[in-house]
Amino acid sequence: MPDPQAGPHAQQIRRVALRALAAGIVITLLKFGLFAMTVSVAVLSDALESIINIAAAGMMCYAVWYANRPADRDHPYGHGKVEFLAVGLEGWLILTAAVIIAYEAIRRLIWGHEVQRLTFGVIGLAVLGVATAALAIYVMRAGKQYESPTLAADGKHLMTDSISTWAVFLGLLLVRWTGKMWLDPVVAIIVAGCILFVSWRLLWQSVHGLMDRQDPADDKRLRAILDDEVSRGAIKGYHKLRHRHSGSFHWVDMHLQVDGNMTVTAGHELASRIEGRIERELGQANATAHIEPTPGSNPSGASSGAAEADSSAVPSTAVNPSHVDPDQPLR
């Protein structure tokens, strides 16, 4: 079964990451320009979050490059886990930005301040909000299309940044219409709360990835395949189904129960066919099946417990033909 290699979409993913980085730098510079003109803490909060976008896009470029390196002697499972590390670092950066924004907003709410050039600020934020939303949709679609957790996480962050920009836009409109300057830091505090929520989600996603949490959608697809094999009579049953992600690469292992009279050769061919079916379904994947006789079907008359013990002595489906007769029944 295939080892992790450079993903088939590695170049496209890197291209998206570099575009996101370049666009993030431009958007951030424009937001700081707006802050210099308006002296709005809400605009400052939006600009600070965009700085995180730049840092996150930089990490994303590195993670995408490193994750798509082929498996090697020191990393036989590939390098995909680095994507979950990048997601976690992005979550911590967003959390830091939220704390800074909340602190500055509370300080200005207590001491007060004046917002300047409101009309210019409102127009500028509307334009940047549209630009950031378009960039977020582009990156999220690319993350889904190329099965990149890092791109998907950065796209969600960009969408949150766009929502924050529109929230600040509405806040400045309220300040302009009502003349109540205290609304500006209040909007900034609301933005900080939204950012905190996003940081929590990214950190949770990172922890799940690093802890090998099983994907419910993948589990449903895998069980549908194995249940179909059972219904067709190819296998008698299955158990110990386990699967995880390493970046965009899937690892699957399982125990398949078959008739104890099946030969080693037939069992190996059956396992290879089912492994191939699973790998085609998941895309970038490595599936490993362990064949064992169904309890009670051992032709030697041994107990099911002994059959299980004997079958576990053969690692996975790899069998050395110099030691085993290919027509020998499974025991």
3-17, 48-62, 205-219, 285-299: segment of lowest average pLDDT: 3-17
**Contact criterion met (CB below 8 Å) for 242 and 278:** no
Most confident of 9-18, 63-72, 120-129: 120-129
Q: Give the span between the Cα atoms of 134 and 167, in whole angstroms.
A: 17
- Quick: pLDDT tens for 32-86: 888 888 888 778 777 877 777 677 667 766 766 666 666 667 665 666 667 677 7
Question: Rounded to an integer, what is the distance from CA 70 to the centroid of its chain?
Answer: 19
- Quick: pLDDT tens for 226-258: 999 999 999 999 998 988 776 667 889 899 999
Mean of the per-residue pLDDT values of the chain: 76
Most confident of 214-218, 272-276, 327-331: 272-276
Where do you find CATH 1.20.1510.10 in the chain? 10-210
- Indicate yes or no: pTM above 0.95: no
pLDDT at 193 over 60: yes
Q: Give the span between the Cα atoms of 175 and 187, in whole angstroms.
A: 10
Superfamily of domain 216-312: Cation efflux protein, cytoplasmic domain (3.30.70.1350)
pLDDT at 327 over 70: no
Question: Comparing 206 with 126, which gets the higher pLDDT?
Answer: 126
Choices 1.20.1510.10, 3.20.20.80, 1.10.10.10, 3.90.1300.10: CATH for 10-210: 1.20.1510.10
Where do you find CATH 3.30.70.1350 in the chain? 216-312
* CA angle, residues 325, 327, 331, in degrees to nearest 5: 80
